[in-house]
Amino acid sequence: MNTNRGVLWATATFGGVLFLCLCVAAAGAALVWFRNQPELADVPAIAATAEPTPAPSVNIPDSSSEPTPASAPEPPALPDDLEIVRALSRVVNDVAQRVSPSVVNITVEVEDDLLGGFGQGSGFVLDKEGYIVTNNHVVEGATSIVVRFQDGTEAPAEVVGGDPDSDLAVIKVDVDPDVLQPVELGDSTSLQVGDWVIAIGNPFGFEGSVTLGIVSAKGRAVRNPGARPFSLPNLIQTDAAINPGNSGGPLVDVEGRVVGVNTLIFTQTPQANSGVGFAIPVETVKRVVPVLIEEGAFQHPFIGISGIELSPSLAQELGIDVESGVLVIEVFEGSGAAEAGIRAGTREVTLPNGETVPVDGDVIIAVDGREVRKFEDLVNYLDTLRVGDTITLTIVRDGETMDVEVTLGPRPDQLP
């Protein structure tokens, strides 16, 4: 019985295996047949690997999803660096060609052994009548003046008027009007720090020299290097190279319009540019030059005080309860300030550096509503006014703030 059961089990098992092999062979043959059919060659062999047919889309709002932003337009292509430099070069080329014929070389003869009897500077043609603007220090004290134009024309000149306190002068030549190429005056009030400016002049006698720079600062008040004890106000500071011989030449904008008159440099190396030059703003030229042509001189308004700037640290040392402003240390007799009752200090304090300062005078903190933090704030504002104008000074006196009206008189030739 056991032997028969074993034979039956073996026979059944062998039959099952044989049937399974036949099924696999049939499946393989079918797969080969399907693959060989041309119209079905691109159908995947295993249905499970095919992409499922997508279900119909249903628009279900989702408050958490963000809308897909529209693609941003491509930014415009920027010119390459070389093209930018070429564009700037073209601007300077154009300005130099248009303005240089208006710039003159001025040679003066003076009775001064230190200068060897001669001096030199620059100027620019104002109009067809032969008026030329330059610095007062270029022609002051000259016994003879010769003007040389770009085309080589030379002519003697005479001084029409000069103003040492603005360092402006007007001279006049008598030449063929065709030689005279007047400049175009611009607007120095619209200048911004960083604007490109171009200086044209005759440094060290090198005629028609052109230098490029920027406006480094505005509203500088710099002590006049001449004998006068007053500051040159509202100056334009520039790093365009200015050297001896540039004095009186124009500082122009990129449109070729005069925005200033080059006047001085600040340097610790004598007779050399150090990147700090100054120009008189053209707004001062517009105000002073017509008066020089008509009257030969210009009167500047004078408030009649001297003072020192207060800083928080200095105010603390002096025991003054005002952190900034101008401390009045002297009031000149007969001035508008004296007549208005402005007070100078009388109680003196010695500072650690040995300087003695009167500390109980008025402190000016505003003029006509404009804050005064530094002395140049006051000087620059007065430069925009005229003799006879009345201003309102806001002062601190004995801890109290008050307004005082002051009528401006003419600036004296010498201080007492």
Active centre residues (catalytic) = 137, 167, 247
How many CA atoms, within 13 angstroms, populate the side-chain half-sphere of residue 115? 15
| Cβ atoms of residues 214 and 253 within 8 Å | no
CA 140 vs. chain centroid, Å, equals 32
If you search the block for the tokens 């002068």, which residue do you land on?
A: 169
Distances (CA, A) of 380 to 154, 330, 374: 38, 20, 10
Distances (CA, A) of 369 to 181, 314, 403: 43, 24, 10
If you search the block for the tokens 């008025």, which residue do you land on?
A: 362
CA 263 – CA 165 distance, rounded (Å): 12
Give the DSSP letter of residue 47.
G
CA 343 – CA 208 distance, rounded (Å): 52
| Cβ atoms of residues 136 and 169 within 8 Å | yes
Beta bridge pairs of residue 308: 327
Q: What is the dihedral of CA 233, 234, 240, 241, to 10 degrees?
A: 0
CA angle, corner 311, sides to 359 and 227, nearest 5? 75
CA 175 – CA 77 distance, rounded (Å): 52
| Cβ atoms of residues 203 and 245 within 8 Å | yes
